[in-house]
Amino acid sequence: MKLYSRMAAQNLRSNARFFLPRIGAEAGLIACFYIMLTLALDDRMQRVKGGSYIPTFMWMGAAILALLSAVLMLYINRFLMKQRKREFGVYNVLGMEKRHVGRVLFFENLISSLLSVAGGLCAGMLFYKLCSLLICRLLQTDIVAGFYYVTPMTVIPTAVFFLLLDFFIFLLNRVSIALMKPVELLQSRSVGEKEPKVRWVMLMLGLVSLAAGYAIALTTKSPLEALEFFFLAVLLVIVGTYFLFVAGSVFVLKALKNNGKFYYKPQNMPAVSGLLYRMKQNAVGLASIAILATGVLVMISTTVTLYAGYEGVLSRNYPQDLYFEAGFPDENGETRHLSPAELESMMRSVADKNGVTIQSIEQNEYLSAAYLLKDNRLYVSGKVEKYDMTDIGNYFFITEATYRGLTGEALALGENQIAVCSIYDPSGIKDITGALTIHGTKYKIKQNLYYFPISASFLASSFACYGVVVPDEETLSNIYLAQKEANGKYASELTRRIAVTFADCEKAAAVGDSLDADLRASLRKMAGDDAVITYNLDTRWNAKEALLGMFGTLLFLGVLLGAVCLFATALIIYYKQISEGYEDRTRFQIMEKIGMSRQEVRQTIRKQVLLVFFLPLAVAGLHMAVVFPLLTGIMKVLLLFSVRLFAVCTLGTFAAFAMVYTLIYLGTSKTYYKIVH
């Protein structure tokens, strides 16, 4: 065994150009996996403000990273085995049996795995504190005290997963070598040098898959449908990308070759012929780069947009600082909702007790209900068999008296007349005009309003939202009773609440828990100790904590996974440069022997390499442009309606990624030119 271990160590030193990036790549993956797993299990992080989202998102990220790690390590192994099968064939010819070669391979795998696991765990422990500081900063909360957080629950699963992954890869290699003859091992580098053929079935499947994915992305309008069909579209685009890189590239190049006027020119023939072989051998790698690049763009652009736009989401959903409604059973056992006047009196008393100043209070009374809108008629969803998600809307009904009290504007609505306002319009639905039939009664739309005075944190949703002003209490009561009869136990109740704006929101937030406790105590005193109270306190500061928790954690996860994908992209490019270098060194010599000058050969190969390596970037940009409408719908589900902000963040992300991608190419190209020359 000492002989095999010494040979393995010597092989690792001799092939350091191949193995060091592999060890570094796995160590980086292990470090990221360890950090995600530790964040998911660190109960200190869960106790910070907004930290409730950390475990869920980190477990999700760890699962995604495990899948990415398996794919990347299999790709790296495929490259290493392609480069070294000839070496194993020489061992076999010189007298070593395949089982002996397998033992050398085992020790190589063992040494590199142990180095990767040790380095990755050390890096993960070292950078965990930095990551915890970063995520606390994103959540705008206090920094978690203490530096180390090392437990067997994080170290052992991380080490075991990657050791098992490496052992599985070793078994694949062992079986591969066992099934090959020595001659095949010696000739493994040159296998596949025949001109590639067009795979028509794969080409058609690729076209259909990509077209279907693009069609879903471009035709889906409803935000909820965007969320529903997103993963299907992603799967179709991934399949289409791989198939078209493998079969479509060969089809295009063969078509150029069959065009005699184009092909039989000195500047075209070498380029087309060289690209044919490049695409055959590297199509899967290029498709992987394109998919990884698209993943980086999607993750970074969406999470940056969400985090950058949280203030806008907060301002739109919480124009006031606090919303309060409450009630308790009366003598007959029916719920008595406190009037806005009673709620206001209670709130002012509690605010004075806690030393905060109220700037203004709005008294709101309205009915909120969901309907389907078709042909200017509102339907209860259960009464319609087939409908589009874009037909669903939230409708908020108030009386003209309430509208006049909140705005000071009189509408002078007559019998069966209403005023309508389109509050939110995520699906592009236009204003309702003419007339609107509600529960069998036709109301003439006297006026389309541009402002609706009822503000509520739940108004902004993935559905269209409309405000409706009715002429009097009787009309509002009729609509309320009709929808209650139609919806049964799912019917909406009338809302009576107050919307409070404080002179200093930060000061109010500091005593938010005290305000909550005092309001509950006042309500309990009014209702009695045994009463079942109805209580709803919705505040801007709690919403801010929730938004920062969600969007901040998503941004951290997006940046971390984006960095992993970027790292994977760099690694694939590096190995491709090495592979291209060894293959082009022979082609370089052949081209010179047939009469091409050294400068012409350089230009030909450089054009091929540039096209091959920047094609994935162009494809990633195209994918991102097509999927942008679908992503916009998903962002609306997450309550971010600023398409302009999303577009700016997306363009900025693409520009930054293109710059980094170019730097990666320039850095790895030095290795390529060293091999060629």
- Residue 418 has what pLDDT? 92
Residue 162 to residue 205: CA distance in whole angstroms:
35
Residue 382 CB neighbour total at 10 angstroms: 11
- Residue 97 has what pLDDT? 72
Band of pLDDT at residue 458, cut at 50, 70 and 90: very low
- Residue 475 has what pLDDT? 92
- Residue 264 has what pLDDT? 64
pLDDT exceeds cutoff 50 at 192: no
- Residue 591 has what pLDDT? 62
Indicate left, alpha or beta for 109 from its phi (over 0: left) and psi (-120 to 50: alpha).
Answer: alpha
Choice among 43-52, 284-293, 373-382 with the minimum mean pLDDT: 43-52
Q: Give tens-digit pLDDT for 377-411.
A: 888 765 555 666 667 788 899 999 888 877 778 88
More confident residue, 481 or 529: 481
Burial 71-109 (b: 16+ CB within 10 A, else e): ebbebbbbbbbebbbebbbebbeeebebeebbbbbbbbb
- Residue 244 has what pLDDT? 85
The DSSP secondary-structure symbol of 390 reads G
Residue 162 to residue 110: CA distance in whole angstroms:
12
Report which listed range, 52-61, 276-285, 375-384, 615-624, is most confident.
615-624
User: Considering only CA atoms, which of 671, 672, 497 is closest in space to residue 580?
Assistant: 672
Residue 191 CB neighbour total at 10 angstroms: 10
| Six token digits for residue 119 | 């380095």
Cβ neighbourhood burial of 63 (10 Å; 0-12, 13-18, 19+): exposed
pLDDT exceeds cutoff 80 at 24: yes
Strand-strand pairing, 417-424 and 358-374: unpaired
CA 162 to chain centre: 25
Q: Where are the alpha helices (DSSP H) in 42-186?
A: 43-46, 54-93, 98-138, 152-179, 182-186
Residue 126 CB neighbour total at 10 angstroms: 10
Provide mean pLDDT across the span 12-21: 79
Choice among 19-28, 210-219, 259-268, 660-669 with the minimum mean pLDDT: 259-268
User: Considering only CA atoms, which of 193, 183, 185, 172 is closest in space to residue 85?
Assistant: 185
More confident residue, 57 or 587: 57
- Residue 185 has what pLDDT? 56
| Six token digits for residue 79 | 């490259």
Residue type at 296 in one-letter notation:
V
| Six token digits for residue 348 | 């002012």
User: CA gyration radius for the chain?
Assistant: 33
User: Considering only CA atoms, which of 304, 297, 306 is closest in space to residue 234?
Assistant: 297
Q: Where are the beta strands (DSSP E) in 472-599?
A: 494-502, 534-539
- Residue 388 has what pLDDT? 64
Token pair 């760099």: residue: 570
Provide mean pLDDT across the span 222-233: 75
The DSSP secondary-structure symbol of 225 reads H
Token pair 């503000």: residue: 455
CA 206 to chain centre: 24
User: Considering only CA atoms, which of 599, 602, 582, 558 is closest in space to residue 676?
Assistant: 582
Band of pLDDT at residue 233, cut at 50, 70 and 90: confident
Residue 313 to residue 317: CA distance in whole angstroms:
6
C-alpha distances in angstroms, 558 versus 48, 57, 304, 400, 611?
20, 10, 8, 47, 29
More confident residue, 264 or 229: 229
More confident residue, 253 or 218: 218
- Residue 459 has what pLDDT? 44
Provide mean pLDDT across the span 415-426: 80
Strand-strand pairing, 464-470 and 392-399: parallel
User: Considering only CA atoms, which of 569, 561, 608 is closest in space to residue 76?
Assistant: 569
pTM of structure: 0.74
Query: Would you kindly state where each structural domain of the chain is located, as residue ranges?
Result: 1-191, 195-319+539-677, 320-538
- Residue 502 has what pLDDT? 93
Residue type at 354 in one-letter notation:
N
Between 98-138 and 16-41, two packed helices, what is the crossing angle to 10 degrees? 40
Report which listed range, 174-178, 279-283, 292-296, 666-670, is most confident.
292-296
Q: Is residue 358 within 8 Å of residue 498, measured between CB atoms?
A: no
- Residue 584 has what pLDDT? 65
User: Considering only CA atoms, which of 19, 18, 11 is closest in space to residue 114?
Assistant: 19
More confident residue, 568 or 626: 626
Q: Give tens-digit pLDDT for 583-630.
A: 666 666 666 666 666 666 666 666 666 766 788 888 999 999 998 988
Q: What is the mean pLDDT of the chain?
A: 80
Backbone angles phi, psi at 668, to 5 degrees: -75, -20
Q: In the chain, how long is the greatest CA-to-CA distance?
A: 105
More confident residue, 10 or 325: 325
DSSP 647-670: HHHHHHHHHHHHHHHHHHHHHHHH
- Residue 517 has what pLDDT? 92
Token pair 């020790």: residue: 107
Provide mean pLDDT across the span 83-97: 67
Residue 83 to residue 41: CA distance in whole angstroms:
41
